[in-house]
Amino acid sequence: MKHCILVSISICLLRSVAYAFSGLKKLRVQKLRAPKATSHSSNRGSPLQDSIWASLDKFRWTVLLGDSVLGAQFLTLSQELGATPVEASLSQHHNCTEKDGAWPTQEAMMDLTDQPFEYLLLCGPEGCKFSRLGCMNFYSSVCSDKDHCVKGCEGTAVWDNMLVQIMQHISKQGHFAVSFHWAPSYFPHMNVYDRLGRYVPGKLLWNNCHHWIGHGYQVDQVAEPTKLSLWLSYVDSSAAVLQKVVGLERLAYQGCTRILCEGNIQNTDNSQTWVEKCNGRRQWLEKADAAAEQQC
């Protein structure tokens, strides 16, 4: 088993996701575009790091809203920027992945679902700080089993406190913020108005594919073409709300990216069955992505 240092939690708990997904899909809104790199006082300096830094510095506050794919990307971004955690519990995690594989252990996943899957990254010339928010702002609850559940925020107190931190931070030259908020399948539209309407982020990247009927237990329970039509209606209505609040120029949608069905398999007792189901879900996601692009 591996001993892991966060902020590389994306490698520990979500390594399979980070390996499986790639690329931004363009749908009805613009992709994030990186401006030319600018200088900053840090111990980074690779072209990739400078490009990331320059983009985020321009956007001031970037929001990632969606499922574990964006969560993994956010955590990988935190690692790339060399962020340091402000909580001791975020500094390390044992038994992160299965032996000789990229899949997260059950222990690691239970640890993840014991805490709200929402994070805040504050960066400046002195470096980046990584912290966890105390509840979920756009989702009511997540349960992996009866003993492992996390709840949504009651009211906007946590959000308001985060906004105070962000506004104080980005008011200084060369400082920016990035936050990730869990919304794997949908979000109540009123939550968007109550939160994003208070202070609009510079950029918002959003998706909603992989924890809903396209990539979950419901995949075999909803018949076509109803399944695809229902998913497309969620995408369309969510896009309309986000565009109304944050504006078209600030919004980017990441479509259904591919999933990896080869390599190390988590369920070794039924590996062929697992691969077949995974391939079926991958095909559905590819079809959903193509339909969304055609519709929008």
Sorting pLDDT into bands at 50, 70 and 90, what band is 9? Answer: very low
Residue 30 in this model has a pLDDT that exceeds 50: no
- How confident is the model at residue 288, as a pLDDT? 86
Average pLDDT for 103-128: 79
Pairing of strands 251-253, 203-206: parallel
Of the candidates 166, 186, 283, 169, the one whose C-alpha atom is nearest the C-alpha of residue 242 is: 186
Comparing 198 with 114, the larger pLDDT belongs to 198
Residue 245 in this model has a pLDDT that exceeds 60: yes
Average pLDDT for 102-120: 71
Q: Are 123 and 56 in contact (CB under 8 A)?
A: yes
Average pLDDT for 166-172: 97
The whole-angstrom separation of Cα 203 and Cα 191 is: 18
Sorting pLDDT into bands at 50, 70 and 90, what band is 117? Answer: confident
pLDDT tens, residue by residue, 246-269: 999 999 988 877 676 765 555 555
Q: Count how many Cα atoms sit within 13 Å of the Cα of residue 193 in the half-sphere of its side chain.
A: 6
pLDDT tens, residue by residue, 118-129: 999 999 999 999
CA-derived radius of gyration, the chain: 19
- Under DSSP, the state recorded for 89 is G
Sorting pLDDT into bands at 50, 70 and 90, what band is 275? Answer: confident
- How confident is the model at residue 25, as a pLDDT? 36
Q: Can you give the three-state secondary structure of 236-254, one letter per residue?
A: HHHHHHHHHHHCHHHEEEC
Residue 1 in this model has a pLDDT that exceeds 50: no
- Least confident stretch, 68-77, 208-217, 232-241: 208-217
Comparing 168 with 108, the larger pLDDT belongs to 168
pLDDT over 90, % of the chain: 32
Reported pTM: 0.79
Residue 180 in this model has a pLDDT that exceeds 60: yes
Average pLDDT for 217-226: 63
Instruction: For helices 47-59 and 68-80, give the axis angle rounded to 10 degrees.
Output: 110
- Taken in order 274, 277, 279, 282, the sign of the CA dihedral is negative
